[in-house]
Amino acid sequence: MPARILDGKALAQTIREVTAAEVASLRREREIVPGLTVILVGENPASQVYVRNKQNACNAAGMVGRTLRLPADISQSTLIHDIERLNADPMVHGILVQLPLPPHLDERAVLSRISPRKDVDGFHPENVGLLASGTPRFVPCTPLGIRELLIHGGVETRGAHAVVLGRSQIVGKPMALLLLQRGEGGDATVTVCHTGTRDAAAYARQADILIAAIGRPEQVTADWVKPGAAVIDVGIHKRADGRLCGDVHFPSVAQVAAAITPVPGGVGPMTVAMLLRNTLQAAIQS
Ligand code: GUN
């Protein structure tokens, strides 16, 4: 039987509607309008699309979504100066620096200058540490969205063996930490595979929940997947024929898995929905 589809587009829409209602009551009761500023450095075409989606989603939820466009050759000190101005602006509750940055900029140094209480991406070392120590404040949006998909899709994480393919700061590492947390959407036994892993497919085949965040098109084929597993695909790539695909070879894996996220329409829309939630949280806590 082909796998059940974990529909991120539909769930994200529901979450966005609920968030919009909460934004309206925050405005009514406390006269606070959540504000998010996204900083886009340079003209990376994919980043431009992502940033536009984030800004539009904010505005549609009744928040103030703004984009600060900066030239690709901006100096690190000027960029940090702009971040500090936003840190001090009471109308701005969330700040997000779209990645990747041009190579002359030190990503880690830049992200650490965002106020940790406005760091809706959850990349500041203080927020990374809070997640790692089991008392999360802001959690990166993609792993947070995946956890929601698992919970709402009826995928039991407690006691499950979750295998995360990829150890990035944006997805792999925080995903593993979330799955390890106590409580709903957590309590999993977690394995993280990466470029140094010998025979990642052998680990993947042991997964009840397989999360592919590798960055290589259609790498995960049916022989990587245990029958009945839930498969989450974080990748998004353009194939030679112009169609979009993920890190998972959907046609074959959907014949083996019990549940699977599509690309597009799986993890991507959930990431944006979680950004809205994090921005609302930042405004509530301001
Ligand atoms: N680039 C790719 N994913 C992300 C993300 O979640 N946040 C930011 N800031 N940049 C990204």
Q: How confident is the model at residue 202 (pLDDT cuts 50, 70, 90)?
A: very high
For this structure, is 98 an active site residue? yes
* Nearest atom (ligand 1) to Cα of 47: 1
- For the chain, what percent of residues have pLDDT higher than 90? 100
Same domain? 155 vs 93: no
Q: 207 with 89, same domain?
A: no
What amino acid occupies position 235?
G
Q: Note whether 111 and 166 are same-domain residues.
A: no
Structural domain containing residue 41: 32-116
Q: Is 223 a member of any domain? A: yes
Mean pLDDT of the chain: 98
Model confidence, pTM = 0.97
Does residue 94 lie within any of the structural domains?
yes
Q: Is the CB of 170 under 6 A from ligand 1?
A: yes
Domain boundary among 116, 132, 161: 116
Our answer to whether residue 121 is catalytic in this structure is: yes
For the Cβ of 236 lying below 6 angstroms from any atom of ligand 1, the answer is no
Render pLDDT for 146-161 as a digit per residue (tens, 0 to 9).
999 999 999 999 999 9
Assigned domain for 145 exists: yes
Same domain as 258, residue 168: yes
Selection from 168, 143, 42, 171 nearest residue 97 by Cα:
42
- Give tens-digit pLDDT for 100-148: 999 999 999 999 999 999 999 999 999 999 999 999 999 999 999 999 9
Average pLDDT over residues 89-93: 98
231 phi and psi, to 5 degrees?
-120, 125
Measured in Å, residue 2 CA sits from the centre of ligand 1 at 32
Ligand 1 centre and the CA of 98: distance in Å? 5
Tens of pLDDT, residue by residue over 205-248, are 999 999 999 999 999 999 999 999 999 999 999 999 999 999 99
Measured in Å, residue 140 CA sits from the centre of ligand 1 at 9
Q: Is 278 in the pocket of ligand 1 (CB under 6 A)?
A: no
Q: Are strands 189-193 and 4-5 parallel, antiparallel or unpaired?
A: unpaired
Specify the residue with its C-alpha closest to ligand 1, atom 2: 99
Q: What does the pLDDT read at residue 48?
A: 97
For tokens 């407690």, the residue is 158
Domain of 39, CATH number, reads: 3.40.50.10860
What's the pLDDT score for residue 191?
98
Q: What is the pLDDT of residues 30-74, one digit of tens each?
A: 999 999 999 999 999 999 999 999 999 999 999 999 999 999 999
159 shares a domain with 234: yes
CA–centroid distance, 271 to ligand 1, in Å, is 9
Atom of ligand 1 nearest to the CA of 142: 6
94 and 201 part of one domain: no
User: What per-residue confidence (pLDDT) applies to 1?
Assistant: 75
Q: Is residue 3 part of a domain?
A: no
Ligand 1 pocket, residue 55 CB under 6 Å:
no
Q: Read off the tokens for 233.
A: 């695909």
CATH code of residue 234: 3.40.50.720
According to DSSP, the β-strands at 161-165 and 189-193 are parallel
Q: Is the CB of 141 under 6 A from ligand 1?
A: yes
**Domain assignment present for 200:** yes
